[in-house]
Amino acid sequence: MSTKERFWSHSEEVIAAIMLFVMAWIAFINVITRYFIKYSLAFTEELEVNLFVWMTVLGIAIAFKRGSHLSVSILVDKLPLRWRKFSVWLAAILTIFVFSLLIVYGIFEIQDEIDLGITTESLSIPVWWYTMGVPIGSLIVIIRVIQMLPQYLKKERERNGS
């Protein structure tokens, strides 16, 4: 596996790890400043909360990539192979639909934030920088769902013994 392929296959984890590292350091610095100067650094909460949004959508993509998302399959497991395959396709289509809506509405929200010139209170950063996490993360989720669909179908066939 080439370096480029390895990075692509673990890009969400790398980005999420970097964000988590940054969030941990920001929180640590805030604790230290509270202890020594008795005041909180207001911008730290802004960064942590908004990085958490990015980490959430990256976590969703990681879960789909690993096949470890939550699912209640008690009824689906009792279905014949044809219907289990149908349920995998249906779940993929509905997932793609929902995250496509998040992309569309996220873009609308970004456009509104740009048009209105909205900035954050503490750092005066354009809010759309943070909002971009939703459509970008949603696109990554859609890519991972499409990428993993053949593996989900293969797993269903193997469960059936065919």
Report domain extents, the chain: 3-160
Per the CB < 8 A criterion, the answer to whether 15 and 58 are in contact is: yes
Query: Could you tell me the pLDDT band of residue 7, with boundaries at 50, 70 and 90?
Result: confident
For 39, phi then psi, to 5°, come to -130, 145
pLDDT in tens, 142-154: 999 999 888 888 8
Residue type, 94: L
Please state the rounded mean pLDDT for residues 62-72: 82
pLDDT at 100: 98
Query: Could you tell me the pLDDT band of residue 19, with boundaries at 50, 70 and 90?
Result: very high
Which residues sit opposite 126 in a β-bridge?
119
- How many CB atoms lie under 10 A from the CB of residue 89? 13
pLDDT in tens, 110-123: 999 999 999 988 88
